[in-house]
Structures are given as structure tokens and as C-alpha cells.
């Protein structure tokens, strides 16, 4: 079947999609967007997290046909998405990266990087919804994303940093 939907602001079309195929497969294998990772295909790891009409979801658990006509944001579109949301003066945004991406680099929250795309999408949505998250809020928002490398502390640092930079009233802390 043919499936048409918007990814990162642009209309994409995929042909010969198998009816049982996941959104994740279509993004990675048919649309040339391998940023969303495939690890478990059962919703456990969060490395495939994308936004579907704004909501963070596991792309591996959405049937491609369910996305017809809807809007998806993947890690590839995160910088642009953040720029449009925050305006060009959005603090902490540097060039091609969303603030949350820059914060992950600055805080040393990336090791092998496999979990990173999903965490970035989830963390960015958290800060959008809750600009000053507590540590408990961060842990809850990221509880569906597994990381085998970092032990999560640097990821916590990165999200705190991204939130602090986005919050104009707060002093810069690194």
C-alpha cells in the first residue's frame, strides 16, 4: 500500500509498504531517515521515539498505515522544530543543533549514541511541556528510554542544562 504523511515539515510518500510494517521501518528503510534507532521492536527501549502529532511515541509500535496524513518529527528534524518553536533567538541553540542536542554534547551525555536520538526527542518534548522540570520529572519523562552506556547521570545533567539554558530567568550553569 501507499502511505503519505508529513515528516519534519515535509510531505513524504512511501510505496509498496507492507500492511503490518511499522512507522519505524518506513522511516528508516523507505524514507532514508535512519536517525530513529531500532533495537527491541517491542516498546521497551525508546530508541525509536518520535513525535506523532506532537506526542512522543515508539515508532516501532505504530503501524505505518495509522500515520496516513499525520505529522511526525524525528531526531533529524529536531533542530528545525526547536528553531521554529523557540524562534531564532532560542537560547542554547547553535547552528545545526537543537538546544537539547548541544546540551547532550556539552554535558558528555553521549557514549555509543544509540539511545541518544530517542532520548533527545523525549527530552525536548519534556522541556517544551515543562520548562523547569524537577529531577523527578526528568526521570519520569525518560523512563521509557534505556541507555546501556552512560549510567544516566550525564543524561540527567544534559537535560538540566538544556532546561536551564532555555529558561531566560535562570543563570547559566554548566
Nearest in space to 16 (alpha carbons), one of 6, 32, 2: 2
Q: Is 57 in the site for other proteins (CB under 8 A)?
A: yes
Q: How far is the CB of 7 from other proteins (least distance, A)?
A: 18
Contact 39, 45 (CB under 8 A): yes
Q: Does 7 bind ligand FES (CB under 6 A)?
A: no
Residue 95 is placed in which grid cell?
547552528
C-alpha cell belonging to residue 52: 506523532
Position 44 contacts ligand FAD (CB under 6 A): yes
Examine residue 153 and tell whether it contacts ligand FAD (CB under 6 A): no
Determine if 53 is a binding residue for ligand FAD (CB under 6 A).
no
Say if CB 162 and CB 103 are below 8 A apart: yes
Q: For ligand FES, which stretch binds (CB under 6 A), given 13-21, 27-35, 109-117, 161-169?
A: 109-117
| 3-class state of residue 4 by DSSP | strand
Binding site for ligand FES (CB under 6 A): 38-41, 43-48, 58, 60, 110-115, 147-150
Amino acid at each position: 500500500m501507499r502511505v503519505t504523511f508529513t515528516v519534519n515539515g515535509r510531505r513524504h510518500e512511501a510505496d509498496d509498504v507492507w500492511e503490518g510494517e511499522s512507522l519505524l521501518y518506513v522511516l528508516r528503510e523507505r524514507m532514508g531517515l535512519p536517525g530513529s534507532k531500532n533495537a527491541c521492536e517491542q516498546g521497551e527501549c525508546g530508541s525509536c521515539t518520535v513525535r506523532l502529532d506532537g506526542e512522543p511515541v515508539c515508532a516501532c509500535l505504530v503501524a505505518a498505515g495509522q500515520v496516513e496524513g499525520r505529522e511526525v518529527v524525528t531526531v533529524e528534524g529536531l533542530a528545525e522544530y526547536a528553531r521554529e518553536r523557540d524562534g531564532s533567538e532560542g537560547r542554547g541553540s547553535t547552528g545545526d543543533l537543537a538546544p537539547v542536542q548541544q546540551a547532550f554534547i556539552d554535558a558528555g551525555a553521549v557514549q555509543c549514541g544509540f539511545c541518544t536520538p530517542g532520548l533527545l526527542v523525549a527530552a525536548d518534548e519534556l522541556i517544551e511541556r515543562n520548562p523547569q522540570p524537577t529531577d523527578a520529572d526528568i526521570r519520569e519523562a525518560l523512563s521509557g528510554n534505556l541507555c546501556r552506556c552512560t549510567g544516566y547521570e550525564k543524561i540527567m545533567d544534559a537535560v538540566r542544562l538544556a532546561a536551564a539554558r532555555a529558561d531566560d530567568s535562570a543563570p547559566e550553569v554548566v
